[in-house]
Amino acid sequence: QSALTQPASVSGSPGQSITISCTGSSGDIGAFNFVSWYQQRPGKAPKLLIFEVTERPSGVSSRFSASKAGNTASLTVSGLQAEDEADYYCSSYAGSKVLLFGGGTKLTVL
Amino acid sequence: EVQLVQSGAEVKKPGESLRISCTASGYSFTSFWITWLRQMPGKGPEWMGKIDPTDSYTTYSPSFQGHVTISADKSANSVYLQWTSLKTSDTAVYYCARWKGGSSFDPWGQGTLVTVSS
């Protein structure tokens, strides 16, 4: 199965909101409510931001929110801050032996 | 604090064998599956497989089945990723992560850089 499709880059100014899309298929994002989002800063391990499409783990800022419509999931970062500059990855369950990731989106805070 | 601590960076030659480790602390080791993921430079993570530390039952991604072996040692709270014959294309950062179901991995280890070069 192919990786999920994300835009290579997005940018926004401090205080603005941005949205990152993640497009899959009817066999992954469209079939299961198991979409997650991760933030990865340079040289660091990914950090879980969102699980089960919309849920935030304890300690993750409420400025991060997510949704899903059909085969596409979206992550919104509101009130952009300099510290949000990082790579963001989506992930979807697609079966007991298939877990897919997107290619990543680099968020630049202008 | 829940933590996964991985072994250090490795430099190997093609054809050599290697085992890297991931040691868990701060929670009941047998309560969660542990997964391994590969991240090549500039790319997204790739799920390799997972293991149930309770009984060492493993599930592999078809992309990695037969190329690596995942094992666990309950007495050491550790999970391992092993190669018998490395290739230059195995050069990557490898992460272990606690699997919380679906596509949710939390936390991740700090990563182990494996470099395979002649």
Residue A1: pLDDT over 70? no
| Tens of pLDDT, residues A38-97 | 999 999 999 999 999 999 999 999 999 999 999 999 999 999 999 999 999 999 999 888
Task: Provide the CATH number for the domain around residue B38.
Answer: 2.60.40.10
Phi, psi at residue A33, to the nearest 5°? -90, 50
- Is A77 inside any structural domain? yes
Expressed as residue numbers, the domain containing A62 is 9-109
| Tens of pLDDT, residues B34-87 | 999 999 999 999 999 999 999 999 999 999 999 999 999 999 999 999 999 999
Tell if the CB–CB gap between A97 and B61 is shorter than 8 Å.
yes
- Tell me, what's the pLDDT at A3? 86
Alpha-carbon gap: A53 to the closest alpha carbon of chain B (Å): 10
Residue A32: pLDDT over 80? yes
- Tell me, what's the pLDDT at A67? 97
Identify the helix (H) or strand (E) that includes residue B58. Answer: strand B57-60
Alpha-carbon gap: B57 to the closest alpha carbon of chain A (Å): 13
The DSSP line for A2-63 is PPBB--SEEEE-TT--EEEEEE--TTTTTT-S-EEEEEE-TTS--EEEEBTTTBPPTTS-TT
- Residue with the two structure tokens 């205080």: A15
- Is A46 inside any structural domain? yes
- Residue with the two structure tokens 């992460």: B95
Number of domains within chain B: 1
- Is A2 inside any structural domain? no
Chain A residues with CB-CB distance to B102 below 8 A = 32-34, 36, 51-52, 93
Query: 10 Å Cβ neighbour count for B33?
Result: 21
- Is A40 inside any structural domain? yes
CA angle at B52 for the pair B46 and B53, rounded to the nearest 5°: 115
- Is A82 inside any structural domain? yes
Expressed as residue numbers, the domain containing B101 is 3-116
The whole-number average pLDDT for the span B84-104 is 96
Alpha-carbon gap: B9 to the closest alpha carbon of chain A (Å): 13
Residue type, A33: N
- Is A96 inside any structural domain? yes
- Is A97 inside any structural domain? yes
Number of domains within chain A: 1
Task: Provide the CATH number for the domain around residue A64.
Answer: 2.60.40.10
- Is A4 inside any structural domain? no
| Tens of pLDDT, residues B13-29 | 999 999 999 999 999 99
Tell if the CB–CB gap between A36 and B111 is shorter than 8 Å.
no
